[in-house]
C-alpha cells in the first residue's frame, strides 16, 4: 500500500512538468488545428474532382488548382495569377488551405462562405470568366460524372450543388500537426530554442494581437497601416488597395483587410494582398514599420521568421 502510494506520488511528480506545459499551452493565444474534420466523404470526393477540373473556366483553360498550388501551401508563387482570358488578377491569390478556420473569405472579406468564393471565381473576368449556365452545360455533357453527381446530390448539377461540392472538399484542406501545434499539445522538443524565442518576440512585439486563434489570423479585420501610410509610401495606389471599403463603401473600411492566416506562411510567398513582399523577412519588416511604428531589429526579425517556419503543417496531397 505504502509502495503503491509512493509510486503514484512519483508518477504525479514526473508528470507535473507535462501538466504545467499543457496548462500553459492552453493559455496561449494560438491554438492548434484540429486533427480531424467532419465532412461528407461522397461530396468531398466530387469536390476534389471539380477542384482540378478545367471545365469550370471559359475555354477550359484553368482549374481552382491552377492558382492554388499544393506545393505552395495552397497559394500561388507569384504576385498575381492570370485568368482564363489572359488578364492578370488585381490581388495575390490567398491560400486555399485552412479556409474552414477563416471567419470570412478573400482579402477584403468579400465572401461569407467558401461557396460564395467559388461563385465569384467562376464568374470573375479575372479568373474563370465563365457563367454557371456554361459550366453546368460543359459538366452535363459528361454522362458518367453527371450520374455520379446525382447519386450524391439528387437535385443534380447546378450552381449551388457544384459550389457546395468544391467547398466541402476545400474545407477539408487543413494542415494539422505543424511543429508549433505539436509544441502547443505538450511536445516541448517540437520546436528549437530559437524558434521558441521567436514566438516570445511575436508576442512581445504585439503581433499576436491580430495573428491569434487556430488560424493565426483569419478571424478579424485590420487597417493595413495603423502606424503609417503604407500605400502612400508604396505608391501606384490601385482600387484593390481600398480593401474592405470596396465591399462596404464605408470610409472607416478604407485600406482595411482581413488579417491573413499565418499557417504555412513559409510556403506562401509572395506576401500581402499586393504580393509586394517577396520574402518573409521583407513582410516582417513591413509589419514592424506600418503596424508597430518602428523598424525591426535584425536579430528579432530573424527569430520571428524562424518561429513562423514552425507553422508549416502536414500538407494535403494533390490527387495523382
Alpha carbon 319 to chain centroid, angstroms: 20
The nearer residue to another protein, 207 or 267, going by C-beta atoms, is 207
The nearer residue to another protein, 93 or 214, going by C-beta atoms, is 214
Closest separation between CB of residue 94 and another protein, Å? Answer: 17
Closest separation between CB of residue 304 and another protein, Å? Answer: 13
Closest separation between CB of residue 8 and another protein, Å? Answer: 34
Task: Please give the Cα distance from 290 to 40 (Å, whole number).
Answer: 43
The nearer residue to another protein, 67 or 114, going by C-beta atoms, is 114
Task: Please give the Cα distance from 56 to 69 (Å, whole number).
Answer: 17
Closest separation between CB of residue 259 and another protein, Å? Answer: 8
Q: Could you give the 3-state DSSP secondary structure of residue 257?
A: strand
Encode 59-89: b = buried (16+ Cβ within 10 Å), e = exposed: eeebbbbbbbbbebbbbbeebbbbbbeeeeb
Q: Could you give the 3-state DSSP secondary structure of residue 221?
A: strand
Encode 129-144: b = buried (16+ Cβ within 10 Å), e = exposed: bbebebbbebbeeeee
Closest separation between CB of residue 254 and another protein, Å? Answer: 13
Hey, what's the torsion of the CAs at 97, 100, 106, 109, to 10 degrees? -160
The nearer residue to another protein, 6 or 209, going by C-beta atoms, is 209
HSE-CB of 123 using CA atoms within 13 angstroms: 11
Long-range contacts formed by 248-251: CB under 8 A, 24+ apart: none
Closest separation between CB of residue 296 and another protein, Å? Answer: 12
The nearer residue to another protein, 127 or 308, going by C-beta atoms, is 308
DSSP 113: S
Which residues does residue 213 pair with via DSSP β-bridges, in sequence order?
Answer: 30
The nearer residue to another protein, 73 or 217, going by C-beta atoms, is 217
Q: Determine how many CB atoms are found less than 10 A away from the CB of residue 200.
A: 14
Tell me which residues touch another protein (CB under 8 A).
Answer: 27-31, 101, 103, 112, 203-210, 212-214, 219-223, 226-227, 252, 256, 291-294
Cα 26 to Cα 21, 185, 219, 239: the distances in Å are 9, 8, 19, 41
Closest separation between CB of residue 264 and another protein, Å? Answer: 18
The nearer residue to another protein, 256 or 265, going by C-beta atoms, is 256
Closest separation between CB of residue 129 and another protein, Å? Answer: 30
Which stretches of 185-226 are assigned E, i.e. beta strand? 221-223
The nearer residue to another protein, 125 or 293, going by C-beta atoms, is 293
Amino acid at each position: 500500500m505504502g509502495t503503491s502510494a509512493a509510486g503514484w506520488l512519483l508518477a504525479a511528480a514526473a508528470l507535473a512538468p507535462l501538466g504545467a506545459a499543457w496548462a500553459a499551452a492552453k493559455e496561449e493565444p494560438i491554438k492548434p488545428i484540429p486533427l480531424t474534420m467532419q465532412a461528407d466523404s461522397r461530396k468531398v470526393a466530387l469536390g476534389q474532382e471539380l477542384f482540378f477540373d478545367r471545365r469550370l473556366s471559359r475555354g477550359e483553360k484553368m482549374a481552382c488548382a491552377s492558382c492554388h498550388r499544393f506545393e505552395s501551401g495552397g497559394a500561388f508563387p507569384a504576385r498575381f495569377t492570370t485568368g482564363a482570358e489572359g488578364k492578370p488578377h488585381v490581388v495575390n491569390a490567398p491560400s486555399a488551405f485552412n479556409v474552414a478556420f477563416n471567419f470570412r473569405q478573400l482579402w477584403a472579406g468579400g465572401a461569407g462562405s467558401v461557396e460564395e468564393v467559388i461563385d465569384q471565381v467562376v464568374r470573375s473576368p479575372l479568373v474563370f470568366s465563365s457563367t454557371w449556365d456554361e459550366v453546368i452545360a460543359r459538366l452535363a455533357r459528361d454522362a458518367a460524372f453527371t450520374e455520379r453527381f446525382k447519386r450524391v446530390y439528387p437535385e443534380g448539377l447546378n450552381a449551388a450543388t457544384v459550389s457546395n461540392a468544391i467547398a466541402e472538399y476545400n474545407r477539408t484542406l487543413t494542415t494539422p500537426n505543424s511543429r508549433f501545434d505539436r509544441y502547443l499539445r505538450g511536445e516541448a522538443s517540437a520546436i528549437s530554442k530559437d524558434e521558441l524565442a521567436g514566438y516570445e518576440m511575436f508576442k512581445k512585439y504585439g503581433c499576436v494581437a491580430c495573428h491569434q486563434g487556430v488560424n493565426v489570423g483569419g478571424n478579424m479585420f485590420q487597417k493595413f497601416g495603423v502606424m503609417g501610410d503604407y500605400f502612400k509610401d508604396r505608391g501606384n495606389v490601385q482600387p484593390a488597395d481600398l480593401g474592405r471599403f470596396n465591399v462596404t463603401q464605408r470610409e472607416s473600411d478604407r485600406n482595411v483587410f482581413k488579417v491573413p492566416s499565418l499557417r504555412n506562411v513559409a510556403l506562401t510567398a509572395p506576401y500581402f494582398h499586393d504580393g509586394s513582399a517577396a520574402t518573409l523577412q521583407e513582410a516582417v519588416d513591413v509589419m514592424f514599420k506600418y503596424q508597430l511604428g518602428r523598424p525591426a531589429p535584425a536579430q528579432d526579425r530573424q527569430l520571428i521568421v524562424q518561429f513562423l517556419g514552425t507553422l508549416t503543417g502536414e500538407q494535403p496531397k494533390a490527387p495523382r
